[in-house]
Amino acid sequence: MPRRSKILSGTLITGALLLTSLGLGGVALSAGVPAPGAGAAAAFASVHSGHTMAVSTTSSPEDPDGDGYIPANPPVTGVTPSTQDPPHRYFHEFQANCSVTHTAPDDPIVYPRQPGRSHDHTFMGNTTTNANSTTASLDAGGTTCKAPGDRSGYWMPTLFDGDRPVLPVGPQTIYYKTGVTDYTSVRPFPRGLRFVVGDPAQSADAFRHHPGFVEGWECGDSYFNTEFPATCPDRADVQVNIRFQAPSCWDGKYLDTPDHKSHMAYPVVRPGTNDNVCPADHPVALPMIEFKMAFPVNGDMSRVRLASGPGHSFHYDFFNAWDDATLRALVGHCVVGGLQCDARGYDQTHPEAGAALDQNYRLP
């Protein structure tokens, strides 16, 4: 398949200016907490589609020529966005419950094979995710997800309270939903698909109006915040939370692109209807991932920040390494089947439907 030309244009920003713009200038991180590396400035060295995002130009086993395009093999062709309106179901989802594995200044999507070049990330799911991760290495790794078949890598910028990293405790909720009205048209992710959701350089206004924005930062009775609330109720049952949705329409051609976004798109409203459909240039409906993260911090929030900067710099990454048969069973049973499933693929309000996985979260 012919590849598109590389995107290398943009405006370079010095590391000092970048750290200042992210609210990190003059911050002394404690020992053992990785500081943003020189690559943090490089992350904003190329402008693409109105967003500032790193362009990968380093070769890897999956991208030998280093142009940032990883073709799907095989590509998905002959698909048009579905305009069908199946029977209404309020839910069509399942959960991937995955715990934190580690933190590191790595990003195998934005900075493949460049350890230490990223701002610090909190990793969930695959226990081996690092700068050198590939589809094959993730497939050989372990996982903290309840379903052993989910060896995907999930990561986001580490949250700090002053110099102290604050890590989510226990299995976090990662929803797999439908983003389109025709939930029966949703198909599993292709193996090796990867993308970035959001942008660390986005403005507060862009974050608030991002198509993936759900409720912003929230705690107690405070909702829809683009920044961390000044205070949160100082109670053991209160944590700061965020929910953010990923694009769910795929071009069918590439597993990754230089900006790590343009092979994916959000659904659009079909003219004259209230139906959500995939756009014509991204016709393949995939599951819509929604991060629902809870961080155990409350009280005075004045020192809370992300490794990428202020609250509105929140973003996250996904690298698919599901076992194909397991993901296919969950998508078919729960999303296409119009159920509200847990990580086993079981809907307690519809016990007659059974579960996609057994008691050990494996295929029966």
DSSP string, 205-249: HHHHT-TTEEEEEEETTEEEESS--SEE--STT--EEEEEEPP-E
325's enclosing H/E stretch is helix 324-330
> Quick one: average pLDDT of 57-72?
84
Structure tokens at 333: 């049973």
Q: What is the pLDDT of residue 142?
A: 98
Which pTM does this prediction carry? 0.85
218-238 confidence digits (pLDDT tens): 999 999 999 999 999 999 999
On average, the pLDDT of the chain sits at 87
Helix (H) or strand (E) holding 20: helix 15-21
The residues facing 51 across adjacent strands are 48
Looking at residue 54, its pLDDT comes to 52
| pLDDT at res. 58 | 67
Contacts of 272 (CB under 8 A, 6+ apart): none
Strand order in the sheet with 164-166: 164-166, 159-161, 304-306
Q: CA-CA distance, 350 to 114, in Å (whole number)? A: 47
Predicted confidence at residue 134, as pLDDT, reads: 97
pLDDT-derived band of residue 50, with 50, 70 and 90 as boundaries? very low
The residue to which tokens 């020192």 are assigned: 303
Query: At CA 105, angle to CA 99 and CA 111, rounded to 5?
Result: 105
pLDDT of residue 272: 93
Q: Name the nearest CA neighbour of 276 among 177, 213, 206, 183.
A: 183
Rounded-to-integer distance, Cα 121 and Cα 347, Å: 33
pLDDT band at residue 16 using 50, 70 and 90 as cut-offs: very low
Q: What is the structure's pLDDT at 64?
A: 81
